[in-house]
A and B are shown apart, each in its own frame.
Chain A
């Protein structure tokens, strides 16, 4: 659509763009509003919540939440869980993905089919038994318990396999001639090549881990172990909403900062990742 347009078509383009800008502004409006509220005193918000200019202005909501250290604590938990899960998923998926892509072993088709079947098991089908298992093992309320159920993701294996299969064999064959072991080839040649794929998978895992709700809700019951998602849910009750709206909003904004920053930095990879996962 880059070709030069004239007359009505040009105006049409401009009109479309204008509409898009308006829609985008409206899209962003709730976010701006929430940020505004987070910068207003709670008492003022009891009176009125309207407006997009934080006046009267206060940063007390933020200083309070940093002093109380609850929200920062949730943030740290979320970071530990999200980073831990990301690293484990990347490790497990790239190793297995490589095996499916390049190695020969017995029952390969069966194992592969088994893995693909796993794509169909939704979280909800296993979260009750997992909850009972983890209770028996006594590992609820640990970071490990929050991470483990999400490590075995067939989709990650599949993505990495697809990627490795697209790598030209010649790159490995040279190394094979040098009698390099499979592990050497994997770590020295394949992994460096797969940085884009790993970044994509890593980003999606990270976002997924960050936003996970149902599992942390039932597994992390100790306020010290809450992730931001569960923690924010825990302060959304009616009472907190009416009395400390500004504080609640500040918590929400504060807790979203890391993921928004991550998004702004890595946008390009995310879009590329979607394209890749679409099989293009």
Chain B
């Protein structure tokens, strides 16, 4: 802490003597967890691992090195509470200067003019929006204006314990895991796997906090060429045959005992790391962390591989979202804090590669094309993820919609609800939410 302050002070002095822009203290609000204990004093982002570690180190590095002498103070919030908290700051007056935001949530904020348009600021700062991959730029834009700095695309992946897979005989000749190509094969392979290894085929968050299986479900619907919301985002589309097929399959995974219904996020991770599951369905954000764990030799998971979610119901398609950085609108924010915020965004953009080490897909074409990126572990297996990634349609109240589907889905494997009933329940709730969202309040 003191060390950092001293460094910041040094930078400040340098800035003043150099006659640079005025130094400012800015507030950053984010999720990704709190790992001050481990990374509080790491000032070099390349020395950090995992989402939390890398973003913590990036902020430290910015504080220690930026020429403007700016200081970024971080406020972290639990993933589940983050948006409630960010929202509340507009009421309670401590609006952060920079905040992380999912692209799926951005419409709520843009429609109420709660974000600072960034196009002109990016231009001044020299952030080249043409370097963003098209999907990312689209995520960050609304009404022909850029409202966010895209930081990654993140998608659902299959994370695989290769030792268990080879024990079950599911290895191709080239050493890659052999994955099912249809829902039926998935179930058959799952049963064979459990017979051969005595472990669960799948581990995944099955409780109410994350909705990992909702993401999986959405992927399966997209694989059939359908969607869960209409493309204009005004109506729900959860009662079609595609949704039913996908939901039935998800329920079957649990009914056949291929996954433990009792696992929460941490529990699923622990099961996977302990070698108690062949595959964990989780996002891109854990590739680096699992890889590090497997290499460290401290967990039973020794041989780790990440792959795309296979096409089980037709074409390749997978749920994806995007982490972005926004500058929440705040009329009382002084110019120097805005400058500092833009300087920080520029720094983050410059260090996009560090973030992509987590396992997230970089949003910068130049990073994707770089040799360092290609050299990262497991990236060849997931090189084309961004091509098969699907984002949810742009609509307000996406979180409420997600939560409604999640609750109904959980009742399928936790309370034995029939897929049709769960979908009907979700449909009516989502319709109600959309009605509210579309009448402007």
Contacts and interface: CB of A to CB of B under 8 A. Distances in A.
A141 B94 contact: yes
Nearest to A222: B94
Contact of A221 (B33, B88, B266, B269): B88
A69 interface: yes
A234 B91 contact: no
B264 interface: yes
Interface residues of A, number: 34
Interface in A234-255: 234-244, 247
Interface of B: 1, 31-37, 40, 52, 75-81, 85, 88-89, 91-94, 209-210, 264-266, 269-270, 298
Contacts of A244: 34-35, 37
B159 to A, nearest CB: 15
A221 B89 contact: yes
21 contacts: A46-B270, A68-B36, A69-B1, A135-B91, A135-B93, A140-B94, A141-B92, A222-B75, A222-B92, A223-B76, A234-B81, A235-B34, A235-B78, A237-B80, A237-B81, A238-B79, A239-B78, A239-B265, A240-B33, A240-B78, A244-B35
A272 B81 CA distance: 40
A43 interface: yes
Contacts of B31: 237
B93 A138 contact: yes
Nearest to A248: B34
B57 to A, nearest CB: 15
A237 B34 CA distance: 10
Determine the main DSSP class of A at the interface with B: helix
B91 A131 contact: yes
Nearest to B210: A238
Interface string A55-98: 00000000010011110000000000000000000000000000
A239 B37 CA distance: 14
Nearest to B33: A239
A2 B270 CA distance: 54
Interface of A: 42-43, 46, 64, 67-70, 131-132, 134-135, 138, 140-141, 218-223, 233-244, 247
B298 A140 contact: no
B52 A239 contact: yes
A42 B34 CA distance: 14
Contacts of B209: 238
A42 to B, nearest CB: 8
Contacts of A64: 36-37
A219 B92 contact: yes
B78 A234 contact: yes
Contacts of B36: 64, 68, 70
Nearest to B267: A242
A247 B37 contact: yes
Contact of A242 (B40, B80, B266): B266
Given A234-B81, A235-B78, A239-B52, A135 B33 contact: no
B77 A234 contact: yes
Contacts of A134: 92
